[in-house]
Chain A
């Protein structure tokens, strides 16, 4: 039962990285891909109806960790206090910015919110990568699960590499998404940008996986390579799906290397939080299993329907001139 919930939490993180990964990417690329306000609106409208639903995956991942592994939730969140604070501020900023940028017709107003989206998306993507790398690679925690050392103990070079890994993945994923969801000049530009930057942008991810799991980094490399090949061939849909496989492989490799720990202690392996040790009681896990068994398929159906409703590509001609 504990192992099942370990897998559920990995699945929730996967959903989050796959979905919010591209909306982070769109925000991170906003000033590079969107040359004028109309193009930036095209980009934001590709994620407009869905980014909020994507973000709920994070809340559920957090809530499920709290419910299923309170020890993990308490230790990780309190140890990574400052990075998480920054992450939250970034999420607050970009969330509000999406809603507010179009509410006042002024170039200065939009510019401010565009900057917030851009910075917020970068910081949030780096932050989530840092937290995931931290839980996989461990923290200096004592027998009680409390962090030993300074507030910056969570910021190691490996954790920073994790941040860069997820940020780089989000860049490529976001560019492919823009190519998939738009038409005209911006689609072509997004495609070219994804292809040229991918070798550099995906480097930290490959490095992280090599460091964590050695040869198991290869499937990710393979899927990402295939994704770029399909993109090069002009098949954005296939490319986007292959990026999904790449991130699936990433999550599988990272969480498999973590198991049976949930948060290793870098001080003494005896202090490491394990799947068995940090879990809630069997009753709580059973309750949660029922809720997840009915809830998750429903979420997938209606979120899938949302993407179907908004399946049409968007181009500059759809944006009303005056707003």
Chain B
């Protein structure tokens, strides 16, 4: 493999991995802050126990999110230095803001929260929980602003062949960001919600102590999941319409739509090979005109297919890569404007499918445990625990879809923006040796794999321990009872 492929695999692996931890942290930290608020306001011990139990799981997960995040920031300079030079004037600002405005708050107040249980007045301690959980959301906003700029560059002019920032406000209020933020945050809540539902249901089935804690957790998880799913659907619909205007090829790739259709049908399921854009041998179950609605809010609009988009892209952005030794094998070769269709087509469907399963599961669990009932069969806890994986999968497939769907670009041209601002992924990598990237790819993957085992082991241990495992024993001093 060459540097480009290795660097892409590394970015993909480390990012998907990082984004397993992040949504759970975001969703759970806000829910824990809400539980603690309920405790401080009502004095009900059940909420205290919930805060402690879910807070412990949050901390186990939080550590992993932090350390894998450092890799993300360094990776741009290490493996994608040509990209960093090209976009640095614009892209670095939201990253630096994230650190200065959000991540400092997150780390500092989390430390205060962990160690401050007996040192701080109750309300100040609660304020620390809100500070770090809101900061996780702010973090997400800045990172999404950076990512959205790559999908839809705004707030710039072209100068000396590079984008130069002219309006930070435009970058921070990019409509792509405004749609991606609620979608991502709702995705994070869906993860946390299913986490509560799955573990709560398992404890109910186990007839563990503190039934009230598990019943409340299950209920909270279900309703948060329902709201999250509604927000996901609405914001996803807005994103679809933006994608139709901003990245028509990604839209077509999501559907593996070969020929332009008017009105366009939405494919639910395809049998056959969606790999190449002739699509002659694909049988697809479709809903008539639905794609037109997703793209343009009516049932009649035309949606361009891949075969018509390719010539348009070739005309606008060139037919061949420039002749440049840094492009390696791709130098001077024709540009393939079609993303990897099986990935985009199935990624899109798996995202929606797993998302729907996760919310459905919550509702089923709530129904099954209504009025103090608990199903006896072994299928019940197995389904509940397996269900925890579904929103994680939905998130991962969503990101894989949106990042693979913009290939071959790393910075996608904005059709209504400044001319000439785009970058092909192949132009973005560092002038590294394959050996360097292979070394870090292997080292990081092995480390991440080992740490995943440790995290799952610890979460399992603390889930099994239930409430009793997280309530600290009182010491004479009390000060360090919750410390390391």
Binding site for B on A (CB under 8 A): 41, 44-45, 48-53, 55-56, 58-60, 62-71, 73-78, 81-82, 84-85, 88-89, 91-93, 95-96, 98-104, 144-147, 151, 280-281, 283-284, 287-288, 291-292, 295-296, 299, 302-303, 306, 309-310, 312, 314, 317-320, 322
Interchain CB contact under 8 A, A70 and B67: no
What sequence of 0s and 1s flags, for each residue 97-141 of chain B, a beta carbon within 8 Å of any chain A beta carbon? 111110111011111101110011000000000000000000000
Question: Which B residue's beta carbon lies closest to that of A102?
Answer: B484
Whether A306 contacts B475 by the Cβ 8 Å rule is no
Q: Give the Cβ gap from A287 to chain B, nearest Cβ, in Å.
A: 5
> Which residues of B sit under 8 angstroms from A145, Cβ to Cβ?
81, 85
Chain B residue at minimal CB-CB distance from A94: B67
On whether the beta carbons of A89 and B70 are closer than 8 Å, the reply is: no
B61-82 interface mask toward A, CB cutoff 8 Å, 1 = contact, 0 = none? Answer: 0111011111101101111011
Asked whether B431 lies within 8 Å of A78 as measured between CB atoms, the reply is: yes
Q: How many Å from the CB of A300 to the closest CB on chain B?
A: 10
When the two chains form their complex, are residues A284 and B93 in contact, meaning their CB atoms are under 8 A apart? yes
Smallest Cβ-Cβ distance to B475: which chain A residue:
A320
Chain B residues within 8 Å of A, Cβ to Cβ: 59-60, 62-64, 66-71, 73-74, 76-79, 81-82, 84-85, 87-93, 95-101, 103-105, 107-112, 114-116, 119-120, 159, 164-166, 168, 430-433, 435-437, 439-440, 443-444, 447, 451, 454, 458, 461-462, 473, 475, 477, 479-481, 483-484
B87 → chain A closest CB, angstroms: 8
A55 to B483, CA, bound (A): 19
Further pairs besides A49-B111, A63-B100, A65-B92: 16, Cβ < 8 Å: A66-B77, A66-B91, A70-B88, A73-B92, A74-B84, A74-B85, A78-B79, A84-B74, A88-B74, A96-B63, A100-B454, A151-B433, A287-B93, A292-B100, A310-B115, A318-B477
Cα distance A284–B411 in the bound complex, in angstroms: 19
Across the interface, which residues of A come within 8 angstroms of B104, CB to CB?
53, 56, 60, 295, 299, 302-303
The prevalent SS among residues of B at the interface is helix
Q: Smallest CB-CB separation from A92: which chain B residue?
A: B67
Nearest-neighbour CB distance to chain A for B225, whole angstroms, equals 28
Instruction: Report the minimal beta-carbon distance from A270 to chain B, rounded to whole angstroms.
Output: 18
Q: Bound complex: CA of A55 vs CA of B119, how far in Å?
A: 23
**A–B Cβ pairs within 8 angstroms, 19 of them:** A41-B483, A48-B115, A62-B99, A63-B98, A66-B92, A73-B76, A85-B440, A85-B444, A96-B67, A100-B454, A146-B430, A146-B431, A283-B166, A287-B93, A306-B112, A309-B112, A318-B477, A318-B479, A320-B475
The reply to whether B84 and A56 contact each other, CB–CB distance below 8 Å, is no
Q: Please indicate the chain A residues that have their CB under 8 angstroms from the CB of B74 in the complex.
A: 62, 77, 84, 88
User: Which residue of chain B is the closest to A315 with respect to CB atoms?
Assistant: B477
Q: Is the CB of A81 within 8 A of B481?
A: no
Expressed in whole angstroms, the minimum distance between the Cβ of A178 and any Cβ of chain B is 15
**Chain A hits for B97, CB < 8 A:** 291, 295
- CB-based nearest B residue for A59: B99
Name the A residues within 8 Å of B70 (CB-CB). Answer: 55, 58-59, 88, 91-92
Q: Which residues of chain B are within 8 angstroms of A78 by Cβ–Cβ distance?
A: 77-79, 81, 430-432
B10 CB to nearest A CB, Å: 10
CB contacts (< 8 Å) of B110 on chain A: these are: 52
Give min CB distance, A184 to chain B, whole Å.
Answer: 14
Given contacts A49-B112, A52-B66, A96-B67, contact A309 B92 (CB under 8 A): no
Do B77 and A77 touch across chains, with their CB atoms under 8 A apart? yes
Please name all residues of chain A whose beta carbon is closer than 8 Å to the beta carbon of B92 when the two chains form the complex.
63-68, 70, 73, 280, 284
Q: Which residues from chain A contact B107 at a C-beta distance below 8 Å?
A: 52-53, 55-56
From B476, which residue of chain A is reached at the shortest CB distance?
A: A317
Given contacts A73-B84, A92-B447, contact A81 B458 (CB under 8 A): no
| B473 contacts across to A, CB distance below 8 A | 320, 322
How many Å lie between the Cα of A49 and that of B132 in the bound state?
14
Q: Are the C-beta atoms of B100 and A60 separated by less than 8 Å? A: yes
* A66 and B96 form a contact (CB under 8 A): yes
Complex contacts, A318 vs chain B, CB 8 Å: 475, 477, 479-480
Q: How far is the CA of A70 from the CA of B444 in the complex (A)?
A: 25
- Closest 4 pairs (CB-CB, A-B): A70-B88, A77-B77, A67-B92, A66-B92
Q: Are A306 and B111 in contact (CB under 8 A)?
A: yes
B68 touches A92 (CB 8 A): yes
Please give, as numbers and ranges, the residues of chain A lying within 8 Å of B432 by CB-CB distance.
78, 81, 151
CB neighbours of A44 from chain B (8 A): 484
Given A101-B484, A151-B436, is A63 in contact with B60 using a C-beta cutoff of 8 Å?
Answer: no
